[in-house]
Amino acid sequence: MPWRETQDPYRIWISEVMLQQTRVAVVRERYTEFVRSFPDVSRLARAPAGQVLAAWSGLGYYRRARSLHAAAKIVCRTRGGVVPRSSAELRALPGIGRYTAAALASIAFGEPVAAVDGNVARVVSRLFGGEQGKMCWERAQQLLCVQRPGDFNQAMMELGATVCLPAPRCAACPISWACATRAGSPARPGCKRTKREVSCCLATLADKVFLERRPHHASLMPGMWQLPEVAGRERQQGTEFSLRHSITNIDYLVHVTRSRRPRGLQGRWIRTCHLQRLPLTGLTRKILRRAGIIQ
Ligand code: SF4
């Protein structure tokens, strides 16, 4: 996309406003012509309203064009034509809501703030195992890569627009290992499903949980954090709860046993406030949510 190849905040702003309610294919057609007619904020601010509306033709929802024009005038009058750098300042401009402000500030200026549109909300809800409602913004912020917030936000938008669709393509999803839902995992025809029963140890101490890290050379989910698996006698010591989880063609019945001291297990105590930022396996995330340790 031409607007993904620029760091010019003005151009990113234009594209984000256009993309609010218009399909990408239409925006792609109209964007280049629009920025050719109005190459910077001051040219847009100085243009007669009729000319701006004419250039907006085909994009629909003309209120966006009027707000954009008004905002450009404010930026010229109060800031010498320099686009505000923070999402908070951007939100004070007409036509810029929370999502547009976050997208623009993170992509153009590297502000570490998550941008949640409808597609991203769908991805986040599925990742965390169910409808997140108003918590979506908080969840996305927890996942955000603060070193590269613009890239992260664009990757999430892209994932929601191309893979985690209303009918999700989980087999093509690069983060299916971290997903608590995998809503679109098909029962592959001709592929026999296997049932397996395992037990996990959920050891907690004050505000900490005991987790182990999967080896970096593991073929599945390398480097991810998980609850340790237990076997034999420990398994029979009392199951706190059980749940089902599927990975590829295996349907697991997972028994979770509580413990205060994970004797003989390799791992580390992790503070619960750090869990959301840790790469957890989907099963571990599911168990911790069920146990009320994370939301
Ligand atoms: S695994 Fe499926 S449901 Fe989960 S994020 Fe990926 S596409 Fe969406």
Q: What is the pLDDT of residues 15-24, one digit of tens each?
A: 999 998 888 8
The rounded Å distance from CA 71 to ligand 1 centre is 37
Q: What is the pLDDT of residues 107-122, one digit of tens each?
A: 999 999 999 999 999 9
Residue 233 pLDDT: 52
Q: Phi and psi (nearest 5°) for 41?
A: -60, -40
Q: Is the pLDDT of residue 61 over 50?
A: yes
The rounded distance, in Å, linking the Cα atoms of 65 and 87 is 20
- Name residue, tokens 């009027």: 66
- Name residue, tokens 């420990």: 234
Q: What is the pLDDT of residues 143-187, one digit of tens each?
A: 899 999 999 999 999 999 999 999 999 989 998 888 888 766 654
Residue 184 pLDDT: 65
Residue 235 pLDDT: 55
Cβ(182)–Cβ(246) under 8 Å?
yes
Q: Taking the chain, what is the end-to-end CA distance rounded to the nearest angstrom?
A: 36
* Residue of 132, 143, 173, 245 with the most ligand 1 atoms within 8 Å of its CB, for mutation: 173
Residue 188 pLDDT: 46
SS3 content of the chain, % helix, strand, coil (to 5): 45, 15, 40
- Mark residue 165 as left, alpha or beta (left: phi above 0; alpha: psi -120 to 50; beta: remaining): beta
123 lines ligand 1 (CB under 6 A): yes
**Is pLDDT larger for residue 222 or for residue 293?**
293
- Which of the residues are catalytic? 16
Number of residues assigned to the chain? 295
The rounded distance, in Å, linking the Cα atoms of 288 and 273 is 12
Q: How many CA atoms lie within 13 A of 215 on its CB side?
A: 3
Q: Is the pLDDT of residue 237 over 70?
A: no
Would the pTM count as exceeding 0.85?
no
The amino acid occupying position 53 is L
Q: What percent of the chain has pLDDT over 90?
A: 48
pLDDT band at 85; cut points 50, 70, 90:
very high
Residue 185 pLDDT: 62
Q: How far, in Å, are 111, 181, 182, 282 from residue 246 at the CA level?
A: 37, 9, 9, 10
Helices 98-109 and 9-19 sit at what angle, rounded to 10 degrees?
150
The rounded Å distance from CA 179 to ligand 1 centre is 6
The rounded Å distance from CA 295 to ligand 1 centre is 19
Q: Which domains, and CATH codes, for the chain?
A: 1-111 (1.10.340.30), 113-186 (1.10.1670.10), 194-290 (3.90.79.10)
Run of H or E including 101: helix 98-109
Cβ(237)–Cβ(257) under 8 Å?
yes
Q: Is the pLDDT of residue 264 over 60?
A: yes
Alpha helices of 163-290 — where are they, by DSSP H?
282-290
Q: Is the pLDDT of residue 266 over 70?
A: yes
The rounded distance, in Å, linking the Cα atoms of 234 and 253 is 16
178 lines ligand 1 (CB under 6 A): no
The rounded distance, in Å, linking the Cα atoms of 149 and 152 is 5
* Residue of 158, 179, 285 with the most ligand 1 atoms within 8 Å of its CB, for mutation: 179
pLDDT band at 234; cut points 50, 70, 90:
low
